[in-house]
Amino acid sequence: KQKEILLFIKEKREIESNLIARKFKSPYAQIKKLIEKEWIYKEKREIFTNSIKDPGLSYGKKITLTEPQKKALNKIEEALNLKIFSPFLLYGITGSGKTEVYLAAFEKVLKKGGKGLLLVPEIALTPQLLSRFKNRLNTEIALLHSGLSTRERFDQWMRIKRGEISMVIGARSALFAPFSSLDLIVVDEEHDTAYKQEEGVKYHARDMALVLGKMVNAVVLLGSATPSVESFYNCEIGKFNLLSLPERPGISSLPEIEIVDIRRTKNDSQFLSKKLIAALKENLKKREQSMLFLNRRGFAPFVLCRSCGEVPRCPNCSVSLTLHRDLKKLLCHYCGYSTDFSNLCPVCKKEELIPVGMGTEQIEKKLKDIFPEATIKRMDKDTVKKRNSLTNILKALREKEIDILIGTQMIIKGHDYPNVTLVGILLADLSLNFPDFRSGEKTFQLLTQAAGRAGRGEKKGKVVIQTFNPFNPIIRMATTQDYLSFYKEEIKFRKELNYPPYSRLALIKFSTNNKQILFEGFNIIKETAEKMVKESLNIEIIGPSFAPLSKLKGRHRGQILIKGKNSSTIHRFLKKFIKMIEKRVGKSIEIKIDVDPYNML
Ligand SMILES: [Zn+2]
Ligand SMILES: [Zn+2]
């Protein structure tokens, strides 16, 4: 019997243990022996794909493509037939069916015996996408992401290398999988900053996908409802081919948008306006679901002493501490420092510390007070820490077990829930004033994507946007999903100030644990930079200055931004510059270089 089981497993290569039990009567004792003899090994795996039911939507059946979808597919197919590197940008408004185009294109590739790679920003957030691909493509799909064990990763890689797998879905690291050949690379949500690897070797997965596509003569398809300014610019100058899906298919239409001016409202209604509460009530009555988006976790972003004005700050970083009432702690979101919270002020010793402002934790509590009968869940970094909790929340949402979901930007990423008909954006301004030339672009993307969650099924959607800047053009354009107008404005601004795509940037960050040394470093860096700028053309410098987070994890931080005409001028400059600075400051200051930076803090 042992031998039979072994042969059975050998034939399948890998198999779930319950399937063995279906074929053999109580095989577990034998399996155990086989494991002891090291003939086979056992491991626990998380099954992403089969855990989500798709009520009301059968992804298996083929959907007729709309005219724009067909047109896009034809262009892609032509390029596939040529077997040369061709980059495309698929710009389609939210809910316009970009995934259908991906699926159809991959189908064509697989039918001809080709190979495909789909990159997604975060694999855990896309369980539906995975089951949809599995059902439609009818082939084995390898999933590559950071959650795999070394063993699992090794297995997947070997199978890709041997050519046993033709379709891979993965996060950015999947780009390094050992394909023998590759025909189509799709980068979904190409604007997503999760594609930028910030630790260790810094790279941007979208750019790497293009490099890889060039190397292996593949078609590279970038998709987004809010393309990065760089990618759209590349279409304008003819580097990429633009494909567009300008409308939602079928009867679903763009949601109705209401902007709520919260400048003159007080206290609580700044965060949950009367209009939003009325809309939530209405939705509960109709038994439809709502999503509320607030890009700030915790109970309150800071606490303040009413008596002496003290605001407790992180001892290691130049930020105030966030109150997490569930934990009864004040936390630093940058270094993890934490301290117990009571309302006793550490300075004047009066019991006067009060929370100021609002985070998702507090909104959840307030909603539960207002709607005690509703099922309200929160999705942010704090609630999805436990294994499977993210999958469980998404599953409950899909199965209509949640009435109101409140969350950070996690909730707006690529989810498709037909019964979500109301989206509330609580503080639309949060990302607007970030010290980053991309703050406008990021705000537009966040708001458009958030608003795009509403009304993706047959029911009409509604979006309520609460803002202190009701006339801000970026907020206005996001409400109508007017990407083209946004792009026109944004590209003008980039050109005027010589920001990418009109230049390349490198951010040099330097840090030390001694403030005095940093000051001395400033002078050396300034001197060196100014001297070098005089010698080299096409280089512009901004700084040196303190970093927006002037202290982080106990280190004092400064930065200097280098603008160059193109990447070779930048690299030539950097090489010389770093060498000269290192010669003068030695090891006393740590220097880090980030080319094409996305994190300006
Ligand atoms: Zn005080
Ligand atoms: Zn800190």
What CATH code is carried by the domain that includes residue 156? 3.40.50.300
Ligand 2 centroid vs 332 CA: distance in angstroms?
5
Ligand 1 centroid vs 389 CA: distance in angstroms?
39
Ligand 1 centroid vs 307 CA: distance in angstroms?
5
| pLDDT for the residue 48 | 40
Ligand 1 centroid vs 306 CA: distance in angstroms?
7
Residue 304 placed within a domain: no
Q: CA 50 to CA 427: how far, in whole Å?
A: 36
Shared domain check, 188 and 337: no
Ligand 2 centroid vs 321 CA: distance in angstroms?
8
Ligand 1 centroid vs 352 CA: distance in angstroms?
6
Query: Could you report the average pLDDT of every consecutive run of 10 residues in the chain (601 residues)?
Result: 80 71 78 81 54 37 83 97 96 91 96 95 78 86 84 88 92 91 96 89 92 96 96 97 90 84 78 94 96 94 93 91 94 92 93 93 96 96 85 89 94 81 91 87 93 84 93 91 94 94 93 91 89 84 90 93 90 90 87 90 84
| pLDDT for the residue 12 | 67
| pLDDT for the residue 44 | 64
Q: CA 444 to CA 483: how far, in whole Å?
A: 8
Residue 48 placed within a domain: no
Residue 305 placed within a domain: no
Shared domain check, 318 and 222: no
Shared domain check, 204 and 267: no
Shared domain check, 194 and 337: no
Ligand 1 centroid vs 329 CA: distance in angstroms?
18
| Contact assessment for residue 424 and residue 220, using Cβ atoms and an 8 Å cutoff | no
Q: DSSP string covering 466-522, please?
A: EES-TT-HHHHHHHTT-HHHHHHHHHHHHHHTT-TTSSEEEEEEEEES-HHHHHHHH
Residue 443 placed within a domain: yes
Ligand 1 centroid vs 302 CA: distance in angstroms?
14
Last residue of a domain, one of 245, 265, 289: 245
Ligand 2 centroid vs 327 CA: distance in angstroms?
17
Half-sphere exposure at residue 524, Cβ-oriented, CA atoms within 13 angstroms: 20
Last residue of a domain, one of 430, 464, 495: 495
| pLDDT for the residue 56 | 35
Shared domain check, 474 and 403: yes
Shared domain check, 346 and 363: no
Residue 568 placed within a domain: yes
The ligand minimizing its distance to the Cα of 551 is 2
Q: Which of 49, 106, 47 is nearest to 80 (CA)?
A: 106
Ligand 2 centroid vs 193 CA: distance in angstroms?
23
Residue 250 placed within a domain: no
Residue 103 placed within a domain: yes
CA distances from 560 to 4, 508, 524 (A): 67, 5, 12
Residue range(s) defining the domain that contains residue 530? 504-595
Q: DSSP string covering 525-548, please?
A: HHHHHHHHHHHSTTEEEEEEEEEE
Shared domain check, 433 and 391: yes
Q: Which of 144, 66, 74 is nearest to 100 (CA)?
A: 66
CA dihedral 561, 564, 569, 570 (to 10 degrees): 30
The ligand minimizing its distance to the Cα of 305 is 1
The ligand minimizing its distance to the Cα of 344 is 1
Shared domain check, 280 and 205: no
Give the number of domains in the chain.
5
Residue 303 placed within a domain: no
Copy the structure tokens of residue 451: 């608003």
Q: Which long-range contacts (CB under 8 A, 24 or more apart) does 371-374 make?
A: 371/280, 371/281, 371/284, 371/403, 371/404, 374/284, 374/403, 374/404
Shared domain check, 215 and 147: yes
Ligand 1 centroid vs 349 CA: distance in angstroms?
6
Ligand 2 centroid vs 330 CA: distance in angstroms?
11
Ligand 1 centroid vs 353 CA: distance in angstroms?
7
Helix (H, G, I), strand (E, B) or coil at 238: coil
Shared domain check, 402 and 324: no
Ligand 1 centroid vs 351 CA: distance in angstroms?
8
